[in-house]
Amino acid sequence: MNRCHGRASRYPNDAMEVVARALWMLVLSLIVITAPALGQGQASWTSANVVDPDRLARVDSVLERYVSEGRIAGAVGLVLRDGEVIYSRAVGWADREANRPMRQDAIFRIASQSKAITSTAILMLVEEGKINLSDPVGYWLPSFAKTTVAVRSDTGFAVVPAQRAITVKDLLTHTSGISYGGEPQVAPHYVGQGLGYGDAYGWYTAHKPAPICDTMERLGALPFVEQPGTAWVYGYSTDILGCVVERASGRSLDAFLRERLTGPLGMYDTHFFLPPAQRDRLATVYTRNSEGQVVRAPDGPRGQGDYVEGPRRSFSGGAGLLSTAHDYARFLEMIRNGGILKEVRLLSPHTVAVMTSNQVGTLYSADGLGFGLGFQTTDRLGANGFSSVGTFGWSGAYGSVYEVDPKERLVLVLMIQVVPYFGSGIREAFKTAVYQALVPPAEE
């Protein structure tokens, strides 16, 4: 029996064959249509909500209210959806005492928002095979080859050897056991080495004349507060990662970021120290008085900082960068888009997926929040305000905050300058005002 006879025996008439062919072509067309979207990992769960411009306008009144009530001096709010700006506004003052209005291109000290950028640099080098996540940190910084931990004992605290080596992944997830040195069992050790909370906040190093890696090498000889991998502890982990970038790449962290990350992404206003020509764009730092009103913070490490004048040598990957709302949003849009912005790819989609998903179980939170390789993650609806499951983000010590919501295709950035930031409510109010503007499309 030849092929034609065989086909005829399955389909008794031409009409059935036509139907079968049509059905098969329909299946093929559906595969072709859906495959690209499914390959991006978004189509099956992306929201169909639209932005109501009238409701989004409520963000203005939220920001203006906080300025008029004296809880902040000024702010820049920025929201992207699908990579396009849907909200951008500067309110209040960049320098209230000098009557300098806030502008959308104002430059802010972003403190711990630096961590996501440094973590990205590490993962770029991991993808290139220059670093492994499982590498012991001692391979890159010799003083970390054998670390110690301060533990409770019958007489108070005792310093004991770490049970295992700290790894690069421990640093990325903040499970290294390394704090900023404010705990009583380690504070004297840290202050004695120019770390911790002595003449500055623990995270601040911009006033130091020594390169950051010299400071981190001294840190390696000090006791930490938890055994590696047993707890989530916020501290110098990402500053250490900045040194790993330097050792693995052979470039200073400043040069590596400029040449490989901020430069290619067009983040031309993102620096560790401010170019003199841009000093008039730097927003002033404020602090709170006893009535909850903001007043100008003093000069020096606990206020305005040494970002214009000073040694300009300590490149803190954990808390040292300056940036604008628009610059930082470009970085976040690259992450939201799976590691690429326009034609510039820095990471693969698989790396971004791991980076932005919970890698620590319940060590960070037992109630719906997690921590990835540089970002807080939202794992339960309602655990982080109105953020969707899958949202990731973080904040900075000067009050700035950001989030990326892949489901709603959003990037949110709010820049303010208040230190220490004890919580005025503006961060939550800003986010709520954005989310309430997302509504189902109107029926035709």
CB 75 within 8 A of CB 90: yes
CA–CA gap between residue 444 and residue 434 (Å, rounded): 25
Q: C-alpha 251: how far from its chain's center?
A: 23
Q: Which of 9, 61, 88, 112 is catalytic?
A: 112
CB 43 within 8 A of CB 429: no
Alpha-carbon dihedral of residues 131, 133, 134, 139, nearest 10 degrees? 40
CB 257 within 8 A of CB 110: no
Identify whether 420 is preceded by a cis peptide bond (ω within 30 of 0).
yes
CA distances from 268 to 110, 272, 278, 319, 328 (A): 15, 12, 11, 18, 10
Radius of gyration of the chain (CA): 25
CB 107 within 8 A of CB 268: no
Scanning the structure block, which residue is given the tokens 């005025």?
424
β-pair partners for 141? none
Q: Please give the helix or strand (H or E) that residue 438 lies within, else none.
A: strand 438-439
CB 238 within 8 A of CB 317: yes
CB 328 within 8 A of CB 270: yes
| Two tokens, residue 421 | 């930031």
DSSP conformation class of 298: P
Q: C-alpha 407: how far from its chain's center?
A: 18
β-pair partners for 136? 167
β-pair partners for 404? 392, 411
Catalytic residue status for 112? yes
Q: CB 242: neighbour CB atoms within 10 A?
A: 30
Measured at the CA of 38, the angle between CA 32 and CA 44, to 5 degrees, comes to: 120
SS3 66: helix
CA–CA gap between residue 349 and residue 335 (Å, rounded): 9
Measured at the CA of 287, the angle between CA 282 and CA 289, to 5 degrees, comes to: 150
Backbone angles phi, psi at 274, to 5 degrees: -75, 130
Catalytic residues: 112
